[in-house]
């Protein structure tokens, strides 16, 4: 909890008071949820963002009390009484607003006294779960950079000699008997596996990407077809697309790569669970209010485009969940653990954000992406 001595200059709204009308209009236009409580913690006002945030209309809110939404020992009550007693603005971060009627995690709140009305408190909420996910994503960048450095060394020290080894094994295969031929094939297969691994690591290079307006639904459609004609042939796909979604600002081939990795993981999880009703749901939506700073710059971009890849597999093992986007984290005997690290890197390079939520029967990867601007070169 942090406190500051600032006092808000919000004036009471009244129809005869043009400033008051303006204040109400400003509150209505705000994307952040704003709530005003009276001295008894009854709801006096809620802007549309707050109605959406709580899932309760302003008319209903005015008939209830904060105590009807949260348990009496919730830390928010202590914060509010501190605001009233000290007459200062107080903020708290990472609150959980958890009750039978509310399910919000990772919320920041800033509460201030309303000077014109005894005991009234104005609260502004912010969902900071995305910000924390960004912190985690930024922490992966160091690890990703070390992969790109290692890939350069491996390409030089390992990949070049590998072609010699493969060539020699091919020559041997032609001149030895059937039992040794099998060994020669094995050498070639293993060499191919190592080369593929180094190739995947080389994708972590730090080249700048070229973004263009991309129709995300066409990309998803392409990935679905690729998956269904190969590794996900027995899995049902459902597409839930928002047809009015504007183009995303992205590198199309890299987006294909990201979505293929996510869909492949989903298919592998379903197959490992022997679920005969395996399903992958691809969905898109427009979402207000997600804003992040571009990597390496102070410019903030909106990330209104949301792409979700969801599966009904067994869920992600709890022990790897906190490190999921780091390189070489895998639970598969055949996995390299590079798929999701690459997803985090590519989405980060786009100025976007990748998040995951998982429980048995429902795993969702969320990609928050920027919208293409009108002056982006068209594809």
Residues found near Mg ion in the complex (CB under 5 A): 265, 339
CB 158 within 8 A of CB 198: yes
- Distances, alpha carbon 205 to alpha carbons 120, 149, 157, 345, in Å: 55, 8, 17, 10
Q: What's the gap between Cα 373 and its chain centre?
A: 21
Site string for ligand ATP, 82-121 (x = CB under 6 A): ----------------------------------------
CB 109 → ligand ATP: shortest distance, Å? 33
Which of the choices ligand ATP, Mg ion, none does residue 332 contact, using the CB cut-off of 5 to 8 A by kind? Answer: ligand ATP
CB 206 → ligand ATP: shortest distance, Å? 20
CB 194 → ligand ATP: shortest distance, Å? 14
Distance CA 143, CA 328 (A): 10
β-strand pairing of 89-99 with 43-46? unpaired
- Is residue 199 a contact point for ligand ATP (CB under 6 A)? no
Residues 6+ apart with CB under 8 A from 245: 216, 217, 284, 285, 286, 305
Judged by CB under 6 A, which stretch of 83-91, 114-122, 129-137, 324-332 contacts ligand ATP? 324-332
Residue nearest to Mg ion (CB): 339
DSSP string, 265-316: HHHHHHHHTT-TT-EEEEEEEE-TT-EEEPTTSS-EEE--EEEEEEE-SS--
DSSP at 67? G
Size, binding site for ligand ATP by CB under 6 A: 23
- Is residue 370 a contact point for ligand ATP (CB under 6 A)? no
Among 185, 251, 287, 336, binds ligand ATP (CB under 6 A): 336
DSSP at 213? E
- Is residue 280 a contact point for ligand ATP (CB under 6 A)? no
Which of the choices Mg ion, ligand ATP, none does residue 353 contact, using the CB cut-off of 5 to 8 A by kind? Answer: none
Nearer to ligand ATP, 128 or 148 (CB): 148
- Is residue 235 a contact point for ligand ATP (CB under 6 A)? no
Judged by CB under 6 A, which stretch of 123-131, 142-150, 167-175, 312-320 contacts ligand ATP? 312-320
CB 364 → ligand ATP: shortest distance, Å? 9
Buried b (16+ CB within 10 A) or exposed e, 256-289: bbbbbbbbbbbbbbbeebebeebebbbbbeeeeb
Rounded (10°) angle between helices 216-228 and 252-272? 40
Among 50, 54, 97, 340, binds ligand ATP (CB under 6 A): 340
- Is residue 337 a contact point for ligand ATP (CB under 6 A)? yes
């Amino acid at each position: 909890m942090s406190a500051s001595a600032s006092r808000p200059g919000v004036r009471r709204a009244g129809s005869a008071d043009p400033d008051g009308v303006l204040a109400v209009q400003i509150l209505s236009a705000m994307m952040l949820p704003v709530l005003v409580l009276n001295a008894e913690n009854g709801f006096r006002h809620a802007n549309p963002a707050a109605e959406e945030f709580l899932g309760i209309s302003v008319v209903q809110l005015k008939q209830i009390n904060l105590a009807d939404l949260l348990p009496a020992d919730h830390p928010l009550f202590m914060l509010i009484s501190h605001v009233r007693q000290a007459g200062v603005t107080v903020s708290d971060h990472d609150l959980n607003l958890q009750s039978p009627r509310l399910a919000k995690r990772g919320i920041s709140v800033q509460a201030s006294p309303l000077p014109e009305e005894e005991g009234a408190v104005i609260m502004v909420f912010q969902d900071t779960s995305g910000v924390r996910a960004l912190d985690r994503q930024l922490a992966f960048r160091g690890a990703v950079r070390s992969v790109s450095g290692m890939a350069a060394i491996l390409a030089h020290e390992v990949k070049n000699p590998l072609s010699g080894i493969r060539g020699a094994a091919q020559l041997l295969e032609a001149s030895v008997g059937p039992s040794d031929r099998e060994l020669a094939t094995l050498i070639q297969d293993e060499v191919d596996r190592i080369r593929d691994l180094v190739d995947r690591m080389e994708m972590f290079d730090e080249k700048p990407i070229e973004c263009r307006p991309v129709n995300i639904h066409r990309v998803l459609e392409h990935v679905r077809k690729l998956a269904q004609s190969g590794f996900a042939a027995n899995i049902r796909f459902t597409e839930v697309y928002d047809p009015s979604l504007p183009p995303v600002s992205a590198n199309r081939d890299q987006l294909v790569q990201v979505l293929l990795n996510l869909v492949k993981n989903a298919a592998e999880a379903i197959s490992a669970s022997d679920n005969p009703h395996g399903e992958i749901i691809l969905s898109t939506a427009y979402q207000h209010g997600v804003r992040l700073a571009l990597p390496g710059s102070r410019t903030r971009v909106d990330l209104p485009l949301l792409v979700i890849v969801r599966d009904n597999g067994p869920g992600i093992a709890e022990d790897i969940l906190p490190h999921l986007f780091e390189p070489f984290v895998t639970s598969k005997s055949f996995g390299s653990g590079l798929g999701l690290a690459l997803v985090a890197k590519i989405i980060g390079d786009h100025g976007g954000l990748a998040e995951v939520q998982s429980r048995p029967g429902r795993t969702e990867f969320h990609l928050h992406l920027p919208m293409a601007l009108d002056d982006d070169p068209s594809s």
